Amino acid sequence: MSGKPTTPPPKTISQMFPDKWLRAADLRGKSVLVTLKKVTVESVYNKREKSYEWKTILDSGKSKRLILNKTQCEEMEIITGTEIFKDWKGQSIILSPAIAKNKKPTIKISSPKRKKGIDKQAVKAVSRITSRANNSEEE
C-alpha cells in the first residue's frame, strides 16, 4: 500500500470533509429537477437531541441525499398523492433553496407539473394531512 493519495489535495474544508447530506447552499441559488431513484427511512443521529431518530431520505442518484423534515414529507404527499414512502420512487420533483419560518435556509420541494383547475389528488392529500394534525391535537 502506497502512503501517497491518488487524488489532488483538497483546497477547501468542504473538500477535505464532504457532507453526505444535501443543504440549501448546495443548490447555489438555483432550482433543480431531480427524479427519485430511492426513498428510504433510516436511523439518523441528531446532534442537538443526542439521539437517533427515524428520517425519510430522498436519493436521486447524485452525490448527496436529502433528509426530509415534516413540511417536506407533507409536500411529497401532496405531489405524489400518497403518504407511502416507497411509492415516491420514480417521482420527479423540483428542489429549490428557500427560507423556512424559523428564518433558516431550507430546501423547498415542488411539483414540476403545473395543473390547471383543482388538483383533486392534492386536495385529498391536504385533507389527510389536516386530519392527522387534528387527531394529534386531540391526544
pLDDT attached to residue 2:
61
Q: How far apart are CA 58 and CA 128, in angstroms?
A: 22
Range of the domain at 107: 20-112+120-133
Average pLDDT over residues 35-63: 94
Across the chain, mean pLDDT equals 88
- The residue ranking higher by pLDDT, 91 or 134, is 91
Question: Residue 3 has which C-alpha cell?
Answer: 502512503
Residue 10 inside a domain? The answer is no
3-state secondary structure of 12: coil
Residue 54 inside a domain? The answer is yes
Q: How far apart are CA 22 and CA 45, in angstroms?
A: 16
pLDDT attached to residue 133:
72
Q: What is the CA radius of gyration of the chain?
A: 18
What stretches of 3-119 show up as alpha helix (H) in DSSP? 13-16, 70-80
Antiparallel, parallel or unpaired: β 66-67 and 92-99: unpaired
Q: How far is CA 50 from CA 43, 55, 68, 102, 133, in A?
A: 13, 15, 19, 21, 26
Q: Is the pLDDT of residue 1 over 60?
A: no
Residue 14 inside a domain? The answer is no
Task: Give the confidence band of 88 by pLDDT, cuts at 50, 70, 90.
Answer: very high
User: What is the reported pTM?
Assistant: 0.76
Residue 53 inside a domain? The answer is yes
Task: Work out the burial of residue 22: count CB atoms within 10 Å of its CB; fewer than 13 is exposed, 13-18 middle, 19 or more buried.
Answer: buried
Give the model confidence (pLDDT) of 17-42 as tens digits.
Answer: 888 899 999 999 999 999 999 999 99
The count of domains in the chain is 1
Residue 57 inside a domain? The answer is yes
Q: Which of 93-97, 113-117, 122-126 has the lowest mean pLDDT?
A: 113-117
Residue 1 inside a domain? The answer is no
Residue 2 inside a domain? The answer is no
